[in-house]
Amino acid sequence: MHFILSLVLTIMACESNNDFRQKMDENDGELISSEKLNFKLDTIAQDLENPWGMTFLPNGDLLVTEREGEIRVIRDGKLLDQKITGVPEVFAKGQGGLFEIKLHPDYASNGWLYISYAAPGKGGGNTAIMRAKLGGFNLIHKEVIFQAEPFVSGGNHFGGRMEFDREGYLYFSVGERGNRDNAQNLKNTSGKVFRIHDDGSVPSDNPFVNESGAKQEIFTYGNRNPQGMDIHPITGEIWTHEHGPMGGDEINIIRAGSNYGWPIATYGKNYSGTTITDVTSKPGIADPLHYWVPSIAPCGMSFVTGDSFGAWKGDLLVGSLKFRYVVRLELDGESVTHEEKLLENLGRVRAITEGPDGNIYVSTESPGLVVRMVPE
């Protein structure tokens, strides 16, 4: 019975994805109206397997990670058959796999790119950071510069987002791996946001370097599962969003030594509907600058920085896995003043990035697409 039900659901999903692809093909390039401007949506790549992260090379190639462990190349608007080889082995279980890909801020000079992924280890898997260089279509000079612990068998809450700040520090997130107590424990590397030098060494001014037993890479804690990260175009601060449980998704600004409260303070509930805590705010815990109830399951985020989307400049774009859309957030300093839903029913949004051409690129799973938003 379970097999038959699973088969029926799979067939329904495939039919739905095929219908969506046909609809995308038919409507490719049509004008879409939003509250402040009109734009076109072009399909750049289809039939990807859970595309998770994207980054542009200086030559214009778009690198796309697939969660099962592949790095794909989109060149001149076409998905190449040739894949990047030398990708590290991934712990492809549940939400685990290959995640983000980022270029070093000085990539043109040093050639380093950075990959976050769920690495296998004794007892299961946990998030790792590797840096490597490209030799043609092959990863070379590979160095694992961080490995989260403990390794656990579960397949959820890996985090996996990365961002460089203006001083060249690398920030990245690791989820609490389904064990909420990890987030408040400075002796492990789950449920945190980290800051390291580009070679993996620990900055001497990290907030917990002198605390006995604490992991020195930790920059913030009390984080449940951050899956969005970007640098604010004006302040240079690192912003994140993270998954709450049933409700309580948050947007936060990452500040040294801050505790973001999970599971001590949250606007969410257990998935069974029972209460986690009645506390939503508490002294010593950083309040989110914005939260969602019900949960939208946020994934991927990008500030609009260029002039191409002039009316949106300075806004924050956030993807939704649950509701399959992109939400545009208007900001007044550190306050969200307005939300607009865009591209409803596009797909489970995984990544959003602003391209060097000034257009906005979005990747989705189910169906596996990369689309481009082009302003009128």
pLDDT of residue 24: 55
Whether 3 has a pLDDT exceeding 80, the answer reads no
35, 311 Cβ separation under 8 angstroms:
no
Q: Which residues are catalytic?
A: 157
pLDDT of residue 2: 33
Q: Residue 4 — pLDDT band, cuts 50, 70, 90?
A: very low
Q: Is 158 within a domain? A: no
Q: Is 288 within a domain? A: no
Q: Is 267 within a domain? A: no
Q: Is 269 within a domain? A: no
* Mean pLDDT, range 20-37, rounded to an integer: 75
**What is the sign of the dihedral through the CA atoms of 131, 222, 314 and 66?**
positive
Q: Is 236 within a domain? A: no
* Mean pLDDT, range 201-228, rounded to an integer: 98
pLDDT of residue 29: 80
Q: How many domains does the chain have?
A: 1
Buried/exposed code over 42-59 (b: 16+ C-beta within 10 A; e: otherwise): bbbbbebebbbbbbbeee
Q: pLDDT (tens digit, 9 = 90+) per residue, 57-104?
A: 999 999 999 999 999 999 999 999 999 999 999 999 999 999 999 999
pLDDT of residue 315: 98
Percent of residues, the chain, with pLDDT higher than 90 = 91
* Mean pLDDT, range 323-346, rounded to an integer: 98
Q: Which domain holds residue 320?
A: 19-50+298-376
Q: Is 38 within a domain? A: yes
Whether 26 has a pLDDT exceeding 90, the answer reads no
DSSP assigned state of 152: B
Radius of gyration of the chain (CA): 20
Q: Taking the mean position of all CA atoms in its chain, how far away is CA 40? A: 24
- Mean pLDDT over each residue of the chain, to the nearest integer: 93
pLDDT of residue 30: 87
374, 40 Cβ separation under 8 angstroms:
yes
Q: pLDDT (tens digit, 9 = 90+) per residue, 287-310?
A: 999 999 999 999 999 999 999 999
Whether 142 has a pLDDT exceeding 90, the answer reads yes
Q: pLDDT (tens digit, 9 = 90+) per residue, 258-282?
A: 999 999 999 999 999 999 999 999 9
